[in-house]
Chain A
Amino acid sequence: MEVVRNAFDFSDFPKTDLLVVGCGLLFLLFFPLLPHSTFAMATMIQFLMFSLYGMGWNTIGGYGGQVDLGKAQYVGIGAYTTAVMLIRWDVPFWVSMPAGVMFSVTWSFIIGYPLFRLTGHYFAIATIATSLVLKDVFEVWDFVGAARGLEILATKYDAVDFTHLIFENDNYYYYILLAFFLLGILIINWFRHSRLGYQLRCIKDNELIAQSLGIDVHKSKVKTYALATAFVSVVGSFHACYIKNIEPEDTMSLDLSILIALMAMLGGAGSLWGPIIGAGILIPLKSYLKEWLGASAGLVGIDLILYALIIMVVSAVEPRGVWGLIEKIRARRT
C-alpha cells in the first residue's frame, strides 16, 4: 500500500536528522521513568498536545499557506463532545473522540466552504471571527454548562480507566498521548508525500498555476482544513479527560488559536518537524517562565512579553522559523 509506504518514508532527511529524531524519541519513551517533578510531567504533556495541535495547523497553515487563527474552536468542539457524552451518558472516550472528530469536521466543512472563498488576511480574520462566535455560543448554552463549563468528577471512575480515559497517574495520559503523537507524525509524513500535499504546496506558491494544472483549489483547501481539524479535535477530546474541567474561556479562546499558529510558525511552517520544534521551545519556556516569574507580583505577563520577543526575532531573522534556520546553515556548509 502506497499510503503506508509514504507514511514511513523519511528517506529525504539526512541520517544525522534521523539520529537526532531517534534520540528524541528514546527520551520521550523513557521520560516517565526518569526522575521528574509533576510540573515537568505536566509540561511534557502540554508539549505533546501542542505538537499535535501544531501538526494539524501545519497542514493547512504551513504546507497550504492559509493562515488559520481559529483552531481553538475545534479544540472546543472535541473537548465538549467528549465531556458532555461522558458526563451525561457515560460514553467511552474511544466513542466520543471519533464523534467529536465527526462534529468538528462537519463544522469545518460548513464554515470552510464559504471561508476559503476568502484569501490572505481576510481569511485569517474570518477564522478568528467564527471561532469567537462559537465560543460566545458555548458561553450561553446551558446544555454544555454555559460559561461555568463542565467538570468531570474523577472520583466516579476507577484509578485506571482506559475506556473513559480517566487516570490518577499522569503517566498513563503521557503514554496514550505519546502514541497519538507518533501516529500524528506518520499521518503528516503521509500527507506531505501525498498528492494533496504536493497540490497544497503548489497552491501556496501560486493559485492560478495550481488551477491551470487541474487542481480544484477550493476543494483541496477544504479537504486539508478538515484534516487539520481532525488533529485538533482529537487532542481537544484528550484535553477534556486530562484537565477534567473545561470552560469556553480556556478551550476556545483566541489566545489558544494564536498559540497554536505561533508554535508551528516558530518551529517552521511547512516542515515536518517544525511544529514539534516550536512546541519544544515555546511550551517549556511558557510554563517555566510563568512558574518562576509569574508568581512575584508585578511581573505577571512578562512571559508573554518574552516569547513575543522571541517570535519577533525569529520572524525577522528567518521567516521559515527554526527549521528554516537549520536548513540555511546546512545549505551554507555544503
Chain B
Amino acid sequence: MTPLLRVERMTKTFDALVANREVSFQVNQGDLFGIIGPNGAGKTTLFNCIAGRYAPTSGRIFFDNRDVTSLSAHQMARLGLARTFQVYAASGDLTVLENVMVGCFLRTRSRFKARQRASEILEEFGLADLADTLLVEVPVAYQKLVTAATAVATRPKLLLLDEVAAGLNPTEVEQIMAMIRHINQNRGITVILIEHVMTLVMNLCHRIMVLDSGEKIAEGPPEEVAALPAVIKAYLGERYVQTQLGGQ
C-alpha cells in the first residue's frame, strides 16, 4: 500500500479557536476514506488545509511523496487533488457542459479536446441530457453530480468530497453512492469524503476517521469504529447503535 496523502500532527487555529488539533492520518492509494464527526468538529477545515485553501498553523501535509504544506489551492489542483464544496450555489452563465469543460481545461489548452472529454465524462456520469442546460437551472442533486464530474474532469489522483449526499432523498443518495463507487473503482481515484449520511459512510468507506472538537478520536474499519463507546458518545448516539448496529 503506497501512501497518497499523509497528514502529520496538523493544527489549524483561527485566533483563539482551535479547529484542528494535532490531527494525523494517512490515506493510501485506492482508498475510500470517510471522515465523520459532529458539526463544528473541524472536518471542513481539515479539507481546506489539505486542499491548500488555508495554510495549517503547524504540522505537515504530504501528497504523493511531496511536502505540500504551503501550496495554494490551484497548485494542489495541478498536482492532482480535486474537491467539491459543501455549500455550492451556482450563479454564473455556464452550462453543465461548459462547467465540466473548465475542469478539463486544467489538462489541455484545446477547446475541442476539452469539449470532447467533458462530453465523455457527462456520458459516463449519466448527465449527457443536461449538457446544454445552465447549471443554475439544474436540480440541486444533479448540481452535486455535476460538480463531482467537474472535479473528476481535472484528472485527480485524490478527490475530496464534502457532504455530497446532504439534503438528498434516498434514491438520490443511491445515485451518489453508485457514482462514488464508480469513481473509486473504475477510475482508480482515491476518495476522502466528509459525510453525515451514515448509510453512505458505512456502505462505501474502507476506513473511517472520527473527529470531535478538532481532534481525532478514532480511526479504523467502519463497523469497528461505529462500535467504539467514544464515537457513540460524541457523534452517533445510543439510538443509532440500537437501531442500526443492534440488529446485526
Contact = CB atoms under 8 A, between A and B. Distances in A.
B102 A270 contact: no
Interface in B53-106: 53, 72-74, 77-78, 82-83, 85, 88, 90-94, 98-99, 101-103, 105-106
A182 to B, nearest CB: 22
A211 B53 contact: yes
A204 B92 contact: yes
Interface stretch (B8-16, B107-115, B176-184): B107-115
Nearest to B106: A214
Nearest to A217: B74
Given A198-B98, A202-B92, A213 B85 contact: no
B102 A211 contact: no
B119 interface: no
Contacts of A212: 51, 73-74, 77, 82-83, 85, 151
Interface residues of A, number: 23
Nearest to A324: B93
Interface residues of B, number: 32
Nearest to A211: B73
B190 interface: no
B154 interface: yes
Nearest to A212: B83
Contacts of B88: 206, 209
Interface string A11-28: 000000000000000000
A193 B78 contact: no
8 contacts: A198-B111, A206-B88, A208-B53, A210-B102, A212-B83, A212-B151, A213-B82, A213-B102
* The 7 A-B residue pairs with the shortest CB-CB distance in the complex, in nearest-first order: A205-B92, A214-B77, A211-B73, A214-B106, A202-B102, A195-B105, A216-B74
Interface of A: 2, 6, 193-195, 198-199, 201-202, 204-206, 208-217, 270
